[in-house]
Amino acid sequence: MNLVVIIILGLGLVFFAGGAVGILRFPDFYSRLHPAGKMDTLGSFLMLGALALYHLHPFTLDNVLVAIKIMLIVVFYFLASPTATHAIVDAGIRAGQSAWQKPKQGAGS
């Protein structure tokens, strides 16, 4: 059981790390929101899911309740995080932020 929890936590960490690298490496506002929204959502799902699983270990009512609460956090995160990303993109377009284009070949950097 512990091994499964560790593997899932590690996977979540991979996604979080990918998200962090993506935020740093992507070229513009919109593409940076892509890792920020997606990777964080999946990463937190995996990590919180692992925590809920870990909490189930002595299978008592108290622990199950805690696990359910953790999974509720995941549900609200899944609702709120993509919506927030969507709203930020919307605001960016309204503010006139233009999307990044791939620079033409030979036109300098």
Residues that bind another protein (CB under 8 A): 76, 79-80, 83, 86-87, 90, 94
Would you say 83 or 97 has its CB closer to another protein? 83
Structure tokens at 36: 């920020």
- Min dist. Cβ of residue 83 to another protein (A): 4
- Min dist. Cβ of residue 81 to another protein (A): 10
Which amino acid is located at 31 in the chain?
S
Would you say 8 or 67 has its CB closer to another protein? 67
- Min dist. Cβ of residue 97 to another protein (A): 15
Would you say 87 or 99 has its CB closer to another protein? 87
Distance CA 103, CA 89 (A): 22
Distance CA 97, CA 29 (A): 8
Structure tokens at 35: 């890792």
Q: Could you give the angle at the alpha carbon of 11 between the alpha carbons of 78 and 62, nearest 5°?
A: 60
